[in-house]
Amino acid sequence: MSAFSAAFLPVLVRRERGSLAATLIAPPVALAAATVVNLGLYVLMGRDPVAVAYAMLLEPFLSWASFSEVLLKTGPLLLIAQGLAIGFRAKVFNIGAEGQFILGAIFASAIPVWFPQATGQWVWPVMLLLGALGGALWASVTAFWRVKLNANEILVSLMLTLVAAQFLNYLLLGPWKDPNGFNFPQSVMFQYDAMVPILIPGTRVNVSLLLTIALSIAAWILMQKSFIGYKLQVGGLAPRAASYAGFNEGWAIWLSLLIGGCAAGLAGAAEVAGPLGQLQRSISTGYGYAAIIVAYLGGLHPIGIVVSALCMAVLYIGGDNAMVSANLPIAAVRVFQGSLLLAYLVAVAFVRYRLEWRRAAYRSQP
Amino acid sequence: MNAIEFILAGMLAAATPFLLAALGELVVERAGVLNLGVEGLMAFGAVLAFVIVHHGGGHFLGFIAAGLGSAVLSLVFAVIALGFRANQVATGLAIGILGQGLSALFGKSYESLTVKGLPKLGLPWLSEIPLVGGLFIQDVVVWLSLAATFAIWATFAYTKIGLVVRAIGENPKAAHAIGYSVITVRFAAVAFGGTMAGFAGAYAAVVYTPLWADGMIAGRGWIAIALVVFGTWLTGRIFLGACLFGAVSLMGLAAQASGLDVPSQLLASLPYLVTILVLGIISADRRLLKLNGVASLGEPFER
């Protein structure tokens, strides 16, 4: 044991105050670490790491055509993550954004499916509003279960996502299936006025990106500048102190979930009324789950989330590229997402702690 | 075979993935750790078992690989959540996403392939009873998981190890002061939970439905976490809850077989709807949760 006791062992020691430098460095370090680990995995799978890295990380920036697709993917991720982050800061863990997204898409599709002839400039804005309503309604079930029945919101919101996916299947295989769609599980193609107008000509980027940016600014004002945001954060950091100060916990849960649900529902509506143009089974490629990672990677801060949403969108488009050019299964993107969040959680530990090397013998003393 | 016989005969097998994963999570939570990655741990175990069994490694080796693999993945959770004191909710979600991603990645070339399940073993005499006899004709894993249920109940009720784990979940500071290593015990509990989740995934993939499909765990891991709450952290109630979910997931099949005119999607979402419902009913009684709940669940331990 004597040789061992002389060795130095790392110990995490709490900092007196959080380190700003570590806060800012953590996301890029996590990104770099996750990239290295995943490239290593691709080598093990027998892929050329240089080709994959080129396709995944560089190609999305090399042409306007592919960068506009990055912007298109950024929209839903950014919107959902902003909504979720507000809840996460209040310690309300809504992980059912995927389900709220699906309900938003379904609600928005009701107009073009039921009224395929409807025309006028009002159609797509009303669809977006309906989408936000659908997402909020779906989230309100979770809020009710949590506030009135004391049920865990993580489990309830996740179960509701699985139900929402089945509901979407039911509609697309049953009442909402396009009768002229060669039996594919999808709705009719939407009419012209049911589509969000294109923002940048020659791309698929539409007006909803402006909406997303506006809502990001609203989230920043709400969380950083307003009394409501302050109350939510205090409720999350110190629930007891908040309740002594007269801040109602139930109110914070309702507000967090409704904001999150609205944002996810709006994103779902913008997806069907934007790039897709119809309700399909594959309306979401895991946006609701990816947005959880986007929210954390952005430090739950509205500005950080803008940057992390862009990064995650690059990963999605890059993953598509790598699937085509380097024959990489698309599941690799999910592996990357998971390991990215893990790397971030390790990196962010150094905001509150610093590493000290202590003699093992010193450590084992009682 | 009528519907009741059908459900009785299949209930225990359908319950086994829920039961194994929930028992593992019970031990983890009793030690004061909340691991939300069960779904991903199950998916990872499932793909490992399927690949091994498909390549002729046999079920025993498949289960061992699944248990070991998921244990390793759960130790990644332990290092980050316990070692680096990261938020346990976020770490669990990340492990869940990673596990499901790895499962899809490794399982890609096995999509819709099948393997052979396990033979059913009947208990003499009991299995010949009419109506309920089917309850006593089960594969060996079902019998083993019943034994595991009993062993875990007895460990918590009668042994010192059980007491130490509970103490560490209730009051880690006090347990540390008496001289128990909180982190070591919690690491061990997480590894145990990971192993059980791996077994649960293996059972789903190579015994219960011996066919590979991406996403075949289908929320069972999450239901297992909910089961721990339903069971108010008591082994016996968790077993009953798992049986309930086994029965509910068979009800869909029974209803379809009997030609009932209900959309199959409604039947498929039945387990999720029941989870939401039961979660509301049990949680509404706050005293019940407080009585058996784990006091320091999810809180990081610092000396």
The ipTM estimated for the assembled molecules is 0.94
Count how many domains chain B has.
Answer: 1
Does residue B16 sit at the A interface (CB-CB below 8 Å)?
Answer: no
**CB–CB of B93 and A336 under 8 A?**
no
Per-residue pLDDT, A1: 41
Residue A357 included in any domain: no
CATH number at residue A233: 1.10.3470
Helix, coil or strand: residue A353: strand
Q: List the single best residue of B97, B106, B277 to mutate versus A (max A Cβ within 10 A).
A: B97
Based on its alpha-carbon atoms, the radius of gyration of chain B, rounded to whole angstroms, reads: 19
Q: Average model confidence (pLDDT) for chain A?
A: 91
Question: Length of chain A in residues, anyone?
Answer: 366
Q: Is there a contact between B218 and A332 if contact means CB atoms under 8 Å apart?
A: no
Determine the structural domain holding residue B95 and report its residue range.
Answer: 1-118+130-290
Residue B22 confidence (pLDDT) above 50: yes
What single DSSP character describes residue A365? -
Average pLDDT, rounded, for chain B: 93
Residue A2 pLDDT class (50, 70, 90 cuts) = very low
Question: Alpha-carbon distance A151 to A181, whole Å?
Answer: 42
Element (H, E) at B74: helix B58-78
CA distance A328 to A325: 8
In a domain, A104, yes or no: yes
Region A123-138 average pLDDT: 98
Q: Is the Cβ–Cβ distance between B52 and B62 less than 8 Å?
A: yes
Q: Give chain B positions within 8 Å (CB) of A338.
A: 40, 94-101
pLDDT at A148: 94
Is A57:A226 a contact under the CB 8 Å cutoff?
Answer: no
Q: Residue B261 — very low, low, confident or very high, per pLDDT cuts 50/70/90?
A: confident
pLDDT at A191 over 90: yes
Cβ pair A152:B93 closer than 8 A = no
The residue with greater pLDDT, B8 or B150, is B150
Phi, psi of A91 (to 5 degrees): 60, 35
| Amino acid A366: pLDDT | 42
Q: Is residue B299 part of a domain?
A: no
Average pLDDT over residues A256-283: 96
Percent of chain B topping pLDDT 90: 79
Report CB contact under 8 Å: A342, B302: no
Residue of A nearest to B80 (CA): A346
Q: Is B86 on the interface with A (CB under 8 A)?
A: yes
Domains in chain A: how many in total? Answer: 1
Distance (Å, rounded) from C-alpha A140 to C-alpha A135?
A: 9
Nearest CB partner across the interface for A346, out of B80, B229, B269:
B80
Please tell me the predicted confidence (pLDDT) of residue A18.
81
Q: Check pLDDT > 70 for residue A304.
A: yes
pLDDT tens per residue across span B231-246: 999 999 999 999 999 9
- For chain A, state the CA radius of gyration: 23
Most distant CA pair in chain A: distance in Å? 84
Helices (H), strands (E): how many in chain A?
A: 16, 2
C-beta atoms of B94 and A293 within 8 A: yes
pLDDT at residue B79 is higher than 50: yes
Token reading at A358:
């202590």
Closest alpha carbon within chain A to B40: A338
Please give the residue range of the domain that contains residue A90: 74-326
For residue B301, being part of any structural domain is answered with no
Task: List the single range of A59-68, A182-191, A333-342, B282-291 with lowest mean pLDDT.
Answer: B282-291
Q: What is the pLDDT of residue A245?
A: 75
3-state class (DSSP) for residue B50: helix
Of residues A236, A208, A215, A227, the one with CA closest to residue A305: A215
Burial group, residue B291, by CB count within 10 angstroms (0-12, 13-18, 19+): exposed
Q: Is the dihedral of CA B80, B82, B84, B85 positive or negative?
A: positive
**Residue B259 pLDDT more than 90?**
no
The answer to whether residue B125 sits within a structural domain is no
Residue B91 clears pLDDT 60, i.e. is over it:
yes
Query: Would you say residue A137 lies in a domain?
Result: yes
Residue A363 clears pLDDT 70, i.e. is over it: no
| Residue B1, pLDDT score | 59
DSSP state of A188: P
**Which of B93, B100, B103, B182 is the mutation pick for testing A, counting most A CBs within 10 A?**
B93
Which residues of chain B are within 8 Å of residue A342 when distances are taken between CB atoms? Answer: 76, 80, 91, 94-95, 98
- Considering the entire predicted model, what is its pTM? 0.95
- The chain B residue lying nearest A147, using CA atoms, is B284
Q: Is a pLDDT exceeding 50 seen at residue A364?
A: no
Q: How many CB pairs under 8 A join A and B?
A: 146
Residue A355 three-state SS:
strand
Residues 6+ apart with CB under 8 A from A174: B263
pLDDT (average), residues B161-169: 96
**Would B180 be classed as within a structural domain?**
yes
Instruction: Identify which of A53-62, B17-26, B122-131, B283-292 has the greatest average pLDDT.
Output: B17-26
Q: Which residues of B touch A93 (CB under 8 A)?
A: 89
Would you say the C-alpha torsion B162, B165, B171, B176 has a positive or negative sign? positive
Contacts of B84 in chain A (CB under 8 A): 12, 345-346, 349, 353
Q: How many residues does chain B have?
A: 303
CATH (domain of B36): 1.10.3470
pLDDT at B221 over 70: yes
Would you say residue B123 lies in a domain? no
The predicted structure's pLDDT at residue A305: 97
Give the CA-trace dihedral at A90, A91, A95, A96, to 10 degrees: -50
Report, as an integer, the average pLDDT of B128-156: 91
Q: Which helix (H) or strand (E) holds A184?
A: none
User: Does A248 fall in a domain?
Assistant: yes
- For residues A330 and A55, what is the distance between their CA atoms, to the nearest angstrom? 13
Nearest C-alpha neighbor of B82 from the set B184, B170, B194, B180: B184
Q: Is residue A57 part of a domain?
A: no
Count CA atoms closer than 13 A to B182's CA, side-chain side: 22
What pLDDT, on the 0 to 100 scale, is given for residue A3? 45
At residue B135, the pLDDT reads: 84
Of A151, A156, A342, the CB nearest to B94: A342
What percent of chain A stands above pLDDT 90?
A: 77
Query: Which residue type sits at A126?
Result: V
Name chain A contacts of B252, Cβ cutoff 8 Å.
none
Structure tokens at B302: 């610092």
Q: Kindly list the residues from chain B whose CB atom is less than 8 angstroms away from the CB atom of residue A95.
A: 93
Q: Is B300 inside a domain boundary?
A: no
Return d(Cα A93, Cα A109) in angstroms, integer: 28
Three-class SS state of A9: strand
Q: How high is the pLDDT of residue A7?
A: 66
Q: Is residue B298 part of a domain?
A: no
Contact B104 A169 (CB under 8 A): no
* Range 215-274 of B in CB contact (< 8 A) with A: 218-219, 222-223, 225-226, 229, 263, 265-266, 268-269, 272-273
pLDDT above 60 (res A6): no
B261 exposed, middle or buried (CB, 10 Å; 0-12, 13-18, 19+)? exposed
- Check if the beta carbon of residue B195 is closer than 8 Å to that of residue B21: no
Compute the average pLDDT of residues A205-226.
93
- 8 Å CB contact between A294 and A81: yes
CA distances from B43 to A155, B64, B110, B130, B275 (A): 18, 15, 14, 37, 20
Of A159, A337, A342, which has the smallest distance from its Cβ to B80's Cβ? A342
pLDDT surpasses 70 at B76? yes
User: pLDDT value at position B136?
Assistant: 86
Among A152, A329, A331, select the one facing B279 at the smallest CB separation.
A152
Residue B111 has pLDDT above 50, yes or no: yes
Amino acid A365: pLDDT:
44
Query: B169 or B132: which carries more pLDDT confidence?
Result: B169
